[in-house]
Structure 1
């Protein structure tokens, strides 16, 4: 799948560029990348685009006046290390790396497939991509919203290293419209 909307789990056509959590970087101003899979939607007039890259993910939130482009990836122009915590103008980001066993990883990937499907059904842009070579090498993005904020969570699994990178991002709706 390249960009077929409405498909919860995409079989990605290329191997992932990053092979471990330490390779991921963070940026709010990296150039838009051509996604391998994406889901777009509107949440109360604010466009949310969740995008899977061979190098990990981008999430673009745009209200017409302000655009935030979160990139967590292994790319040449994403040179800042992945922060544990970051905050700027109503946007909050956090990340953590968890060590997992093979059994835990299998259960997590199964749960992510269900969660992505449920969130898509409720109208929140969400997507999960499975990379070739290992059915547990996935990147998943799940968006959600409330009256006050738009949020998304991502999971980047590395079966060969027994690692999962989990990120959480929140934008205060007032800040997205500021």
Structure 2
């Protein structure tokens, strides 16, 4: 099942400290889910605390990775709203939600992770809305993926959402 109840406290406690690193060494994920591309190669979704790492492998090409975490090895001190690299694009946003909408989003993401192929989710102790969710699908010879990092607060919570596309 691609929804994991992780018995660790999340390493990232605020979406404001997330950063982006491409093709950098990442710590070992707490949970992973591998997706095979119909044309060869694979994408591995990985949860790092309340952050993520995604690794793409393409037949005959160099691997690619995206890490969004508070420990991402980069000189940037924040997650950019937009990033480009050869064959790669990322957009990100951070939104505040009231309690009902935050809980509803967490429940929907948990359902998708539990029921749908192409999804990986990890929940953390203390609050069932403390969640990291990732979803991916092939896109031509490459991949598209989306991520949600949910940070509960006293009256709702913050959601950091990313959308990425990679083409070999």
Name the TM-score, length of structure 2 as normaliser: 0.89
The alignment status of 1:99 with 2:96, answered yes or no, reads yes
Question: What SS is found at the alignment partner of 2:163?
Answer: strand
Alignment of 1:2-151 (within 5 A): 7-44=1-38, 45-64=40-59, 65-75=61-71, 77-80=73-76, 81-120=78-117, 124=118, 126-147=119-140, 149-151=142-144
Q: Does structure 1 conserve the Cα–Cα contact (< 8 Å) formed by 2:19 and 2:72?
A: no
Q: Does structure 2 conserve the Cα–Cα contact (< 8 Å) formed by 1:119 and 1:143?
A: no
Q: 1:22 Cα shift?
A: 0.9
Q: Does structure 2 conserve the Cα–Cα contact (< 8 Å) formed by 1:30 and 1:71?
A: yes
Larger mean CA deviation between 142-151 and 38-47 belongs to 142-151
Runs of 4+ in 1 over 3 A off after TM superposition: 146-149
Q: Does structure 2 conserve the Cα–Cα contact (< 8 Å) formed by 1:17 and 1:55?
A: yes
Q: Does structure 2 conserve the Cα–Cα contact (< 8 Å) formed by 1:40 and 1:47?
A: yes
Q: 1:144 Cα shift?
A: 1.5
Alignment partners' CA distance in 2, 1:136 and 1:113: 9
Alignment partners' CA distance in 1, 2:72 and 2:139: 35
Question: What SS is found at the alignment partner of 1:163?
Answer: strand
Q: 1:115 Cα shift?
A: 2.4
Q: Does structure 1 conserve the Cα–Cα contact (< 8 Å) formed by 2:2 and 2:33?
A: no
Larger mean CA deviation between 76-85 and 34-43 belongs to 76-85
Question: What SS is found at the alignment partner of 2:125?
Answer: coil
In structure 1, list runs of 5 or more residues that go unmatched: 1-6
Q: 1:112 Cα shift?
A: 0.9
Alignment partners' CA distance in 1, 2:72 and 2:144: 27
Residue deviations 1:140-172 (CA, integer Å, cap 9, x gap): 000122436411100000112721000000123
Compared CA separation, residues 55 and 117, structure 1 to 2 (3 A): closer
